[in-house]
C-alpha cells in the first residue's frame, strides 16, 4: 500500500470520476425505483387478477434471479435480440442498461416492502374511512399509505445501503464506476491502495446515508409511537 500524497494525487481523478458514476447509478436507480415500486405494490394486492398476476410475477422474476444475470440480459441479451429480430431500439448502451436493470430490480424489492407496509395497517382504518365516505382510492392515498411511511422507512433504508454496494456490479458490463476505476488502477500499478481508497469511498457514502436515515426516522416517528 502506498498512501503518499503524490500517489493519491495520481489516483484521484480516475477514482473521483468512478465515484461520480457510482453516485449517479445510485441516485438514478432510487429516483426511478422508489416511485415505480408503488404501482407494483398496489397491483399485487389488487382485487382484479390481471394486474395482481402481472405484478406478482414481475416481483418473483426480479427477486428470484441474480441481479448480475439481469444485467447480462438487459445488456448482452437484448443486444443479441436486437440483431436477431432487427429491433435496433432494444440495444441499450452500458449505462442505460445498468439503470434500466437496477430500477426494475429495486422496484421489485421496494414493491414488496410497500406491500407489507400496506398490509400491516389495521382493517379498522379502512372501515373508519369507509363510514366517513372515502372511496377505496381515497382511503389508500389519504389514510393508508401515509401511515405506512414510518414502517417502511427502516427496510427501505436497508435496501438502499445494499444498492450502494450493488452498483459495483455495473463493472461486469464495463461501466466505469468506482470499483472498475480502482481495479484498473490497481492492475496498472500493481498496488492495493486503489482498493482501499474505493472501500473508503463506499463507506463514506453509506455513512452519509445512515445519517440521513436517522433524520428520516425521527421525522416520521412522531405520531405513531404505538398502534392506533
Nearer to other proteins among residue 93 and residue 217 (C-beta): 217
Nearer to other proteins among residue 78 and residue 140 (C-beta): 140
CB of 42 to other proteins, least distance (A): 18
The reply to whether 219 sits near other proteins by the rule CB under 8 A is no
Please tell me what DSSP assigns to residue 73. Answer: I
- Opening angle at CA 124, ends 121 and 127, nearest 5: 115
CB of 107 to other proteins, least distance (A): 25
Distance spanning both ends of the chain, measured CA to CA: 56
Nearest CA to 109 out of 30, 220, 222 is that of: 30
Nearer to other proteins among residue 93 and residue 127 (C-beta): 127
Site for other proteins in 127-146 (CB under 8 A): 127-135, 138, 142-143, 146
Query: Buried b vs exposed e over 177-204: b needs ≥16 C-beta within 10 Å?
Result: bbbbbbbbbbeeeeeebbeebbeebbee
Nearer to other proteins among residue 24 and residue 216 (C-beta): 216
Residues that bind other proteins (CB under 8 A): 122, 124-125, 127-135, 138, 142-143, 146-147, 149, 222-226, 228
Amino acid at each position: 500500500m502506498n498512501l503518499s500524497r503524490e500517489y493519491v494525487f495520481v489516483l484521484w481523478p480516475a477514482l473521483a470520476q468512478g465515484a461520480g458514476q457510482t453516485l449517479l447509478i445510485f441516485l438514478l436507480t432510487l429516483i426511478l425505483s422508489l416511485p415505480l415500486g408503488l404501482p407494483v405494490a398496489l397491483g399485487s394486492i389488487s382485487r382484479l387478477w390481471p394486474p395482481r398476476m402481472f405484478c406478482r410475477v414481475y416481483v418473483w422474476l426480479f427477486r428470484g434471479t441474480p441481479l448480475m444475470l439481469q444485467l447480462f440480459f438487459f445488456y448482452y441479451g437484448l443486444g443479441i435480440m436486437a440483431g436477431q429480430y432487427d429491433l435496433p431500439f432494444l440495444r441499450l448502451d452500458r449505462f442505460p442498461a445498468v439503470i434500466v436493470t437496477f430500477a426494475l430490480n429495486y422496484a421489485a424489492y421496494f414493491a414488496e416492502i410497500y406491500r407489507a407496509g400496506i398490509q400491516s395497517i389495521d382493517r379498522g382504518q379502512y372501515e373508519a374511512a369507509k363510514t366517513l365516505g372515502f372511496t377505496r382510492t381515497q382511503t389508500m392515498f389519504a389514510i393508508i399509505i401515509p401511515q405506512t411511511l414510518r414502517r417502511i422507512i427502516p427496510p427501505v433504508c436497508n435496501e438502499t445501503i445494499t444498492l450502494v454496494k450493488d452498483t459495483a456490479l455495473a463493472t461486469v458490463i464495463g461501466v466505469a464506476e468506482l470499483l472498475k476505476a480502482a481495479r484498473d488502477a490497481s492492475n496498472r500499478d500493481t498496488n492495493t491502495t486503489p482498493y482501499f481508497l474505493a472501500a473508503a469511498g463506499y463507506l463514506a457514502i453509506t455513512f452519509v446515508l445512515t445519517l440521513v436515515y436517522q433524520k428520516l426516522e425521527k421525522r416520521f416517528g412522531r405520531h405513531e409511537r404505538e398502534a392506533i
